[in-house]
Amino acid sequence: MHQDKIKELVERRKSARNGGGQKRIDAQHAKGKMTARERLALLLDEGSFEEFDMFVQHRCTNFGMEKSRFDGDGVVTGMGTIDGRQVYVFAQDFTVNGGSMSETMAAKICKVMDLSVRNGVPFIGINDSGGARIQEGINSLAGFGEIFERNILASGVVPQISGIFGPCAGGAVYSPALTDFTIMVKDTSYMFLTGPGVVKTVTGEEVTQEELGGATVHATKSGVAHFSAENEKEALMTIRKLVSFLPSNNLEQAPFIPTTDPAGRYDDALNTIIPESPNKPYDMYQVIGSIVDDGGFLEVHKNWAKNIIVGFAHMNGRSVGIVANQPKILAGVLDINASRKAARFVRFCDAFNIPIVTLVDVPGFLCGTQQEYGGIISHGAKLLYAYGEATVPKVTVTLRKSYGGAHITMSCKQLRGDINYAWPSANIAVMGAEGAVEILYSKEINAIEDPAERTARYEEKKQEYNDLFCNPYNAASYGYIDDIIEPRNTRFRVIRALEQLAGKKQENPWKKHDNLPL
């Protein structure tokens, strides 16, 4: 009798691991998609997965649902490790009822979310679902609500990562939107609130699923996706790499990654990277690659708001968040999307004790009716706010331009930048010389009748302004810049600054929560 019970257990486990059956597994593979368990096997260290609630079944009796029950009920949940570090996970199983959200599926997901927060461990969800299980009505919606509330309460406590590996529509999109990072897969995943059919009915607009909410759309146009992968394996490896930069919770530091890259390494190429002409671009990626460990950089939002660069790197083995203006795109100007992108990243780093290194070359905020009508004032204030409230170590290096309100926003001394360096090529001022001369001397210069004399006077005043303000020494004379450094020495100086700030302790005034300009 005892052996029969063991045999029954083995058989039920085997059946549960088979999801909706081989026919549906084959259909999943035919779409170029893995099953839930195949995904977890790639994501987690081999042999580390500990599954929970394998035998949970739905309790719905509407529309003949009692005749179709599967162990696990369309989601695989449990615990595993990534590079030996514990994570909690769920992976929706599209082979069972299209991975649709049931009351019991939500309860399974909520259980691992609760364990994640209680034990201070990252939480990773892999979404592949047809949405709410319509047969369960309001109970399915209540399940979504329970998950959302946990996403909200876990925010800033443990890292939350969402993988979109298939459909994710309607209310289901809000859980990924509430998490810290979202990874999508090209051609096989999509996210939207209402599908193409509803869009056509309501607006008359004809659009495909991919055009409406595919990985490329959300990685380039909306900014909803932080990463876009060519295939599922690449997406899973991206999640593994991302976790390596992050602490397990908000009370810990990110893991130390030993490096053979010398902290004192010079790079003479940085001494000549800034062009003679202030209007000529250069590539900020070269600067980032030069100063971080082994040139390694995991960029976030790579294809959205490309005028600013954000991402993770290691410096002397320690995890840092990099924020850098990109002179090659829109001259590195701050606009609505760049401000939103950088603000969210800075706030994440601050929540999880990751120091922020800011590389500045910013001519100002983007002007024009489109930006003003879109609320550039409020959106720009988000980035200003994020830097100002951050209490993690903040090291700023101004490479070239740092003008006006954008100068203040990019982690200046007055926003509690801890160590602020500048290269000799830095121009730190209210504005560039051309604009300043127009405002200060236009009446005087325009009154000169001789064109040659007028031009000479303009150039003279421009040079006068440049000598006074368009250099790092004026700011340094007030202590707003801590030191002017040789570009080739940037890696060493930043690492040394981070090391002296390693024990930094700073607290903001007590409050229930802030009211940042959303």
Instruction: Residue 225: name the closest of 272, 257, 177, 188 by CA.
Output: 177
- What CA–CA distance (Å, rounded) separates 259 from 263? 9
- Let me know: does 164 contact 186? Beta carbons within 8 Å: no
- Exactly one of 195, 296, 405, 435 is catalytic; name it: 405
Question: Can you say how many angstroms the Cα of residue 262 is from the centroid of all Cα atoms in its chain?
Answer: 28
- Exactly one of 19, 78, 163, 170 is catalytic; name it: 170
Instruction: Residue 312: name the closest of 171, 180, 121 by CA.
Output: 180
- Let me know: does 429 contact 476? Beta carbons within 8 Å: no
Instruction: Residue 341: name the closest of 308, 319, 312 by CA.
Output: 308
- Let me know: does 142 contact 148? Beta carbons within 8 Å: no
- Let me know: does 231 contact 305? Beta carbons within 8 Å: no
Does residue 170 have an active-site annotation? yes
- What CA–CA distance (Å, rounded) separates 22 from 19? 8
- Exactly one of 338, 343, 406, 429 is catalytic; name it: 406
The residues, ordered by sequence, that sit 6+ positions from 145 with a Cβ below 8 Å of its Cβ are none
Rg for the chain, CA atoms, rounded: 27
- Let me know: does 106 contact 14? Beta carbons within 8 Å: no
Does residue 406 have an active-site annotation? yes
Does residue 32 have an active-site annotation? no
- Exactly one of 171, 374, 404, 435 is catalytic; name it: 171
- What CA–CA distance (Å, rounded) separates 394 from 385? 14
- What CA–CA distance (Å, rounded) separates 59 from 273? 65
- Let me know: does 70 contact 19? Beta carbons within 8 Å: yes
Q: Give the residue numbers marked as catalytic.
A: 170-171, 405-406
